Amino acid sequence: MAQTQNQMAAEGAAGAAPPGLATERGGRRGRVIFLNALPLNALPRSHLRLDILPVSIGDLAQWINKRLQEGYEVVHYVRHTATIATLRSVGIPLSEQPNAGLYQYAHGDIIVVVALRAPVRGQEQQQVDINDLEVWIVTVL
């Protein structure tokens, strides 16, 4: 099957290992972190560059399966149960439990930002469809 442009770009942007990933963590290569936004205060307070790649949910599901095969751990900091359920419904292996914890970047993390296309301030959507979501893969260079 031919790869889409997003798939090829995702492989290039965050392929087998993100740039600079030098150590393994307990037999794992690193972490794939799911966030609902990209808090800059969670990143190192130094000069850095980010590679930000928009991807489709379908491409994300394939990409995450490759990362799992390569030994990455999947962790999420998503508190919206409807978003978690939608991602799980397409094969993204997130814990069912919402996580309102504060994320802090660790060297080698690959960040996946999943956000609503049209959020309504002050309202939490009870149902979310894959078409309601936008996704970006973020790698710290």
**Do 93 and 67 meet the contact criterion of CB atoms below 8 Å apart?**
no
Q: What is the pLDDT along the chain (141 residues), one digit of tens a residue?
A: 444 444 444 454 444 443 333 334 455 579 999 999 999 999 988 888 999 999 999 899 999 999 999 999 999 999 999 999 999 999 999 999 999 999 999 999 999 999 998 766 656 667 888 999 999 999 998
Q: Look up the domain containing 71 and give its range.
A: 29-140
CA of 109: how far to CAs of 36, 40, 89, 129, in Å? 15, 14, 24, 27
Identify the burial level of 15 via C-beta atoms within 10 angstroms of its C-beta, where 0-12 means exposed, 13-18 middle and 19 or more buried. middle
CATH number, residue 119: 3.40.50.11170
Amino acid at 119: P
Q: Rounded to the nearest 5°, which phi and psi values hold at 57?
A: -60, -40
pLDDT of residue 8: 42
pLDDT of residue 72: 95
Residue 23 resides in a domain: no
Residue 11 resides in a domain: no
Residue 54 resides in a domain: yes
Q: What tokens were used for 29?
A: 């290569």
pLDDT of residue 28: 58
Residue 37 resides in a domain: yes
Residue 92 resides in a domain: yes
Residue 8 resides in a domain: no
Q: How many domains does the chain have?
A: 1
Amino acid at 82: A
**Do 95 and 125 meet the contact criterion of CB atoms below 8 Å apart?**
no
pLDDT of residue 127: 81
Residue 124 resides in a domain: yes
pLDDT of residue 27: 53
Q: What is the pTM of this model?
A: 0.78
Residue 132 resides in a domain: yes
